[in-house]
Chains A and B, each alone.
Chain A
Amino acid sequence: MTPKLPIKIAAHDFRVFHGQEESLRGITLNIPANRILGVIGPSGSGKTTFLRALNRLNDLAPETRINGQVLLDEQDIYAPSFNVVTLRKRVGMLFALPVALPMSIFENVVYGPRLSGVRNRKRLEEIVETSLKAAFLWDEVKDRLMMSGLRLSGGQQQRLCLARVLAMEELEVILLDEPCSGLDPISTAKIEEALTILKAKYTIILVTNNTKQAARVADETAFFLMGDLVEHGPTEKIFTVPDDQRTNDYVTGRFG
């Protein structure tokens, strides 16, 4: 069948503690490159914690500690020598609620490139156009790039956020935290379509509460429950003949 893909991200017995509470209990998971990994599970299962650990956003919460390893291209991202700023430029994140920064559409998109030191106006304009096209937003906003990003609709804002992530030249991995939870079906479809195209270039990890969405777009699916990784495998297998009874119960809608 498909040739064995290289491993992009590997977690080894990875644990996250929030104060006394253990939110992730020893996750071991290999994530292949250029695939969409769907992460499903009921709320509170640790999906989002896992996602945020991958670009070290949980560093910002003061009570959080970690244990174990996460390797990106075989480098430990939690090693003291690993530059967290570089990490976040390589691993982009899309949040559950679309957050357009209160600045123009143009400035939203070039936020990352400007931080990386891109100054050339023409280069920035190119970046804006390619990123917005890749996020399926270009046609809707190309005539009003100087308008505040806050004036876009929710669905448009989420695609703006996607474009903002795609604008980063160092980008290799895209993390999505229930990106469609607040969106209408059309915007959702557009984002899903964008993702299936983008996986040729990026590794994508999609946390979703909507199991159908995982079934539609994910190549592989991981099922989290109460901080444990219950099962991980090809999406068809997870949704048809899972190994674990709990996975079966969840995907068939018996709980969650």
Chain B
Amino acid sequence: MNLNGEKIAKYALMTVAFSAVASLLLIAVFIFKEGLPFMFKVGLRDFLFASDWDPMAGKYGIYPMIVASLWVTLGAMLIGAPLGVAGAIFLNEFVPKPVMRVIKPTIELLAGIPSVVFGFLGVMVLAPWIRATMGGPGLSVLAASVILGIMVLPTVISISTDAIGAVPNSYREGALALGATRWQSVYMVTIKAARSGIIASIILAMGRALGETMAVIMVAGNTVKIPHSVTDPVRTLTANIALEMANATGMAREALFATGVVLFVVIMILNGVALSTIKGRVRRK
């Protein structure tokens, strides 16, 4: 019984171990199965690079959404990356350890705030302020960028802090011993040594910003139009999927899956880059 049970356990566990990879493949297969044929039916040019989105009229150009996603994601990074990296450096290098031990978990805890809450605050607080000071409808590229920028802060800070924390103390001491100020040692030694982890944190945050849906729907305005200024309302790829999902059928639904394919591919590329940058450096430290 003993050894048979042992064999059963082993093979059962081996099967189970494939659950994550199997899920990943299943997700990919189903999204591609629904989306890819559509892309070829409409034609890649008319799908990716046409500006008219009107499923009722058979027009499926997602170019404005691609541009919108890019603007919003880049905007979020312009806000989230410097703040997050600055926070990580400051917490690691200029704050006493006990204080850091309180602040870092607090920030990570905040990663748990549901995205819809961020979106709601964007609508209630940020959008009115933008409307009042800069004009436009308020719900805009800028509003979405700011909200997403704040949302990715915990990701950037958490991973960057780990990367900076992993830099051996001897590096810093070496620089300090040569007469560098604290800041010079940080600037010339620590940041260089932790570079790959910091970059990875930014790329992963980019993936999160690009993939975020509910908060963006609430604050971006959702107009299908190529934005000309940061106060213009836009609709991102993710928002497009979520908004039209409820009542889409037939071709229109396939179009949404095709949008999902684009999103999937871009996110996988970002993840792949981030994982290979990070590999063996920050992870399983």
Which positions in A face B, CB cutoff 8 Å? 83, 85
Q: Which residues from chain A contact B56 at a C-beta distance below 8 Å?
A: none
**Alpha-carbon separation in the docked complex, A85 to B3 (Å):** 9
A-contacting residues, B1-42, CB 8 Å: 2-3
Q: Count B-side interface residues using an 8 Å CB cutoff.
A: 2
- How many residue pairs link A and B with beta carbons under 8 A? The number is 3
**Alpha-carbon separation in the docked complex, A83 to B3 (Å):** 9
> What distance in Å separates the Cβ of B5 from its nearest Cβ neighbour in chain A?
11
A–B pairs, 3, beta carbons within 8 Å: A83-B3, A85-B2, A85-B3
Q: Which residues from chain A contact B3 at a C-beta distance below 8 Å?
A: 83, 85
Determine the residue in chain B with the shortest Cβ distance to A86: B2
Determine the residue in chain B with the shortest Cβ distance to A115: B2
Q: Which residues from chain B contact A85 at a C-beta distance below 8 Å?
A: 2-3
Q: Which residues from chain B contact A83 at a C-beta distance below 8 Å?
A: 3
**Alpha-carbon separation in the docked complex, A85 to B2 (Å):** 9
**Alpha-carbon separation in the docked complex, A83 to B2 (Å):** 11
**Alpha-carbon separation in the docked complex, A83 to B1 (Å):** 13
Determine the residue in chain A with the shortest Cβ distance to B2: A85
Determine the residue in chain B with the shortest Cβ distance to A83: B3
> What distance in Å separates the Cβ of B211 from its nearest Cβ neighbour in chain A?
39
Nearest first, the 3 closest Cβ-Cβ pairs linking A and B are A85-B2, A83-B3, A85-B3
A-contacting residues, B172-198, CB 8 Å: none
Determine the residue in chain A with the shortest Cβ distance to B6: A85
Q: Which residues from chain A contact B2 at a C-beta distance below 8 Å?
A: 85
**Alpha-carbon separation in the docked complex, A233 to B2 (Å):** 40
Determine the residue in chain A with the shortest Cβ distance to B1: A117
> What distance in Å separates the Cβ of B178 from its nearest Cβ neighbour in chain A?
41
**Alpha-carbon separation in the docked complex, A28 to B42 (Å):** 79
> What distance in Å separates the Cβ of A152 from its nearest Cβ neighbour in chain B?
31
**Alpha-carbon separation in the docked complex, A83 to B4 (Å):** 13
> What distance in Å separates the Cβ of B226 from its nearest Cβ neighbour in chain A?
58
> What distance in Å separates the Cβ of A81 from its nearest Cβ neighbour in chain B?
12
**Alpha-carbon separation in the docked complex, A197 to B148 (Å):** 74
> What distance in Å separates the Cβ of B77 from its nearest Cβ neighbour in chain A?
44
> What distance in Å separates the Cβ of B119 from its nearest Cβ neighbour in chain A?
46
B143-157 Cβ-contact flags toward A at 8 Å (1 or 0): 000000000000000
